Structure 1
Amino acid sequence: MEKKIFNPLDWLEQPNQQQINTEPQKVEANTDAAEVEKIIQQIEAKQIDIATAYSDWRDIGFAFADAFGESGRDYFHRISKFYADYSATECDTQYTNCLKANGHGVTLKTFFFHAKQAGVNIAVTPQYTEQEKVQLPTFPESIYPQLPEFLQKVVKIASFNEERDILLLGTIVSLSACFQKLYGIYDGKKVFSNLYIFITAQASAGKGRLVHCKQLVKPIHKHLREQAKLMKQQHELEMMEYNEKKGKDASAEKPNKPPEKMLFIPANNSTTGVFQLLFDNEGRGLMFETEGDTLAQAFKTDYGNYSDGFRKAFHHETISYYRRTDREYVDIESPCLSGMFTGTPKQVSALIPNAENGLFSRFIFYFMNIQPVWKNVFANSSDNGLDDYFDQLGNDFFGLYQTLMANPEIQFCLTTEQQEQFNTFFEQIQNTYLSLQGLDYMATIRRLGLIAFRIAMILSALRIMEHGDLPERIICEERDFQTTLEMVRVLVKHASKVFSELPQDAPMPKRKNQKERYLDALPASFNRQEYLRIAASMSIPDKTAEGYITDFCKRGLIHREKQDHYLNPNAKETQDLREIKKG
């Protein structure tokens, strides 16, 4: 059998198997391992730290765990030990966490990328891009035949995996704004199906297909605008009658302006403008923006109120605002807002500058991989392209919308077995990502549970188009429940990727207390008279200073060499002497 000659470039050209199979890749001895060994030897010779950021270090751990399993632990230690604060225990813990993740979409090409960036010769000089560092998984092929027929029709026009995924997600989120009579009970609260999503990718990655998702709900928007037009005409007639009576009939009342009925609420709007339109539409609407800058710019002009409204709407919490024109205080009770946004990775950070305010955790994120393959732009050839196709699908969904609106509310429920599996599933995910991302990521996991519940609700409601039944309660079918969990397994990895790339706030400098300042003031060598003199200069009583010195000695911060003679190994003079000796 001919021995395989390994080339790191293969890792860039081959499709990412992690997208299909989450089991660690088995690597032949003397091929991948030999090449990694060669590169690590160069790192050791140069004594360089190739992962200065935590996220880069963690991803290299994922790469070794994916390729080598437990045998990659030694590699991880060898590339980590040139970090100034290297700890063997911390390194072991991190690698164990990487193994427990059981596949995270990170492969060996991540290691090659960072090695090359650090100046290591990896034998080839491909042009790496940020997108090529990590190939994130797509939804499993197995879920698509299990989808409701309506969704299968939507995604069948996709030409590659990512396009199919974003069409599915974009459709689910767009439809989530239209199930006004559908609800479920989650954590003791009545919740509706509304969702937010941000699909992020570099320019020309293929996210333009999402415009078709807007066509699916456009008939509903058109229907509401026609209602608004009729109400406006009626208002004009009432105004004519009022103007005729004005001055003649003291009881004549000026008619109120009719509400602006619509489904699509423009994001390029002031906070008050958005709230006014939500109020006019009984607290419901859909923001659909294919350029993340549009919403990000609106956030910049009035970030606090805009972000606050988004966060409250996700949980249907009352939004209050003041209308200056009418001098009126308004409450929007139980708002139900959905949001479909796309943009580049930089636009995510412009919209959500950090994860602390809770807006990040309310979004579904999907990070598209760039496909370096030319797409057949004539594959879907017809007289009017795909517009007619999606217009027809939109009309089909409008029929379901009208049926639901003409009937009482329907409650969505999981079975007892599904509830138990749901809790176990998210408990496992929470434990995994607490170790990977820390407490800051917990809110994302917990709200992802609510997002999953809403996705299952929408899949179940679309089954009505197939069987035509309108029960008082919809029990989730097992295929829809399992499809939802499979989607979440992928979405949690995409959210983790975006979360890792959010800019980190600079930590506030900690003000040292009196005891810390006293320790800093002690010289490299001193006696009792000296430390009492320093204490007096800092207005520290003698008794207190003596207590500090005793405590410092117990903790090993200073050393008592002999009677009335102390050494401070952390003093600046000591450090200077060490540097002189090294020189």
Structure 2
Amino acid sequence: MTTNNSNTQVEENSDYIPDSVYKNLPEILKESSNIFTDRYEKDVFLLGALGVLSGCFHNLYATNAVDKKNVAVNLLIFIIAPPASGKGVLKYSKKLVDEIKNTFAVSSKVLGSKNTGKLLIPANSSASGLIQLLRQNNGVGIMIESEIDTLVNANKQDWGNYSDILRNSFENERVSLYRKTEKEYIELDNLKLALAISGTPGQFKTLMSSVENGLFSRGCYYLFDNTGSSLTCFGRMNSTKNIDVHFADFAKIANDYYNLHLSHDKIEVSFNQQQLTEIQTRLNSEFQRIVIFPELKANIKRSFTIALKIASLLTFLKECESGKITDKIDCSDIALKTAISLMLTNLIHSYKAYELLPSRNKPSLKVNEQRLYSVLSDDFTRSQAVLIGETISIKERTVDSCLKTFREKDMVDVSGKGEYKKKQ
């Protein structure tokens, strides 16, 4: 079996974003992602890029054609991994907006005012400072940070308000704040803050504190441990020229797309009933498997909105390749398929994030143990369990760990031939 490094083919791993996703990406994302040969770094870059770009195209909306509902495409991305494991590639995701941030500053400046909009918002802003910046930007902003502690340490005394702003951003709700020192009441409609942030498991636990935090179910997650047993300090990029030159080129393309988008007050990517049903059908299977984890039901329900946001962004980026766009676009089937794959990958990682956090009513089984047990027949063998595990993105070694738990908890009988039987 091959190992995960920059010079060899990676093993099939349910943790990774599927290869099919990369094959079907719009060119700007496909070409920029292909620079990274380490699989985890490639995935982190892509998710960071989606997060950053989702905050750039603030006139872009996903439209549920059945319920006649719109939602902006801004995403909340959380990357969780040990130190020195590859999270730092988020800085390249940030480079995609190097030109857009300047265009935004000019386009958002109010005539006669010295103030210009700041698309990139520092993570160490206070809650009141964040609201002030968002108000100047008409609710738009991007926060990208490689250390969660920067966000947490700046808001230890005011985390409730800060978390409320992030939660309300997800579906563009209204947020309000009273500033005691200035005796000022601030209210902001149609919030569109995007977030791409990384940190260690310990930092994440400090940030989120509990699965009961409503922010938890609104996030897109990616957890990994790329520390490994071997050292690979170079050769992890597939670049024919200076990496900064590459990303300067991508930033120019992104800025061209941004200017196209500015020519429309509102761009709607529409989803028909068949497409909406396809997303719901894929989510329903997961919903049934996590029945004993009530807190995770919110993650699955909000994954529907996440899929709409991602599919809309991918559809829009693909449309921009032609050099012209309209204000009404039908979601492409390829973009929908790609978004569903990303949505399901996010769910698998959200289960890992869930295991990191405390809960008052957490079941004795882990999430993957329950997911596997719920789909196994009453009688099964190990090999059958492994095959079934593959269909729900559970790796072979995790299946073995689950089977061990089932035996220890006296949930199954095992014959001498290695045949398992569920106990009623």
Give the shorter-chain TM-score range: 0.7 to 0.9
Given candidates 185, 189, 192, the residue that maps to 2:72 is 192
What is the alpha-carbon root mean square deviation over aligned residues? 2.6
Residue of structure 2 equivalent to 1:212 = 92
Contact 1:183 1:192 in 2 (8 A): yes
Is residue 138 from structure 1 mapped to residue 19 from structure 2 by the alignment? no
TM-fit CA distance, 1:216: 0.4
1:434 aligned counterpart, secondary structure: coil
2:174 aligned residue (301, 315, 318): 318
CA distance in 2, matches of 1:382, 1:425: 37
Which residue of 1 is the match for residue 377 of structure 2?
A: none
Whichever residue aligns with residue 155 of structure 1, its letter is: S
- Tell me what 1:271 maps to: 127
Q: CA deviation at 1:202?
A: 0.6
| Residues 1:491 and 2:346 aligned together | yes
Aligned to 2:146: 290
Deviations 1:87-125 (A, max 9, x none): xxxxxxxxxxxxxxxxxx7xxxxxxxxxxxxxxxxxxxx
AA at the equivalent of 1:219: E
* Structure with the higher fraction of residues in strand conformation: 2
TM-score, normalised on structure 2?
A: 0.77
2:247 corresponds in structure 1 to: 390
C-alpha contact (below 8 Å) 1:260/1:277 kept by paired residues: no
Aligned partner of residue 99 in structure 2, secondary structure = helix
Q: How does 1:57-76 map to 2 (within 5 A)?
A: none
SS of corresponding position for 2:212:
coil
Per-residue deviation, residues 549-576 of structure 1 (Å, max 9, x unmatched): xxxxxxxxxxxxxxxxxxxxxxxxxxxx
The equivalent of 2:294 in structure 1 is 439
Q: Could you list the per-position Cα deviations for residues 523-554 of structure 1 after superposition, in whole angstroms to 9, with x for gaps in the alignment? A: xxxxxxxxxxxxxxxxxxxxxxxxxxxxxxxx
Partner of 1:159: 37
**Residues 350-392 of structure 1: CA distance to partner in whole angstroms, max 9, x if unpaired?**
1000011211111111002315243351565989731111111
* Structure-2 change in CA distance of 1:362 and 1:386 (3 Å): same
SS at match of 1:301: coil
Kept after mapping to 1: 8 A contact 2:176/2:187 = yes
Partner of 1:366: 222
CA distance in 1, matches of 2:152, 2:241: 34
Q: Deviation of residue 302 (structure 1)?
A: 0.5
Partner of 2:25: 147
Matched, 1:415 2:415: no
Partner SS for 1:350: helix
Cα distance in 1 between the residues matched to 2:217 and 2:155: 17
Q: 1:379 to 1:365 in 2, by over 3 A?
A: closer
Query: 1:299–1:307: 8 Å Cα contact kept in structure 2?
Result: no
- Paired residues for 1:230-269 under 5 Å: 234-235=112-113, 258-269=114-125
Task: Please give the residue correspondences for 1:512-531 in structure 2 after superposition, counting only pairs within 5 Å.
Answer: none
* Structure 1: runs of 5 or more not aligned: 1-9, 22-104, 106-135, 236-257, 508-583
User: Identity percentage over the alignment?
Assistant: 31
TM superposition shift of 1:225: 3.9
Q: How far is 1:330 from its partner?
A: 2.1
Q: Are the aligned partners of 2:104 and 2:119 in contact in 1 as well (CA < 8 Å)?
A: yes
**Paired positions, count:** 355
Structure 1 pair 185–444 and aligned structure 2 pair: CA distance change class (3 A):
same
Q: Which residue of 2 aligns with 1:547?
A: none
Candidates 457, 464, 467, aligned match of 2:322: 467
SS at match of 1:274: helix
Which structure is higher in helix share?
1
Q: Distance in 2 between matches of 1:493 and 1:382?
A: 31
Contact residue 220 and residue 350 of structure 2 kept, 8 A: yes
Give the Cα separation in 2 of the matches to 1:374 and 1:399. 39
Q: Secondary structure at the match of 1:176?
A: helix
* Alpha-carbon contact 2:118-2:141 (below 8 Å) kept: yes
Residue 345 of structure 1 is matched in structure 2 by: 201
**Match of residue 332, structure 2, among 477, 501, 506:** 477
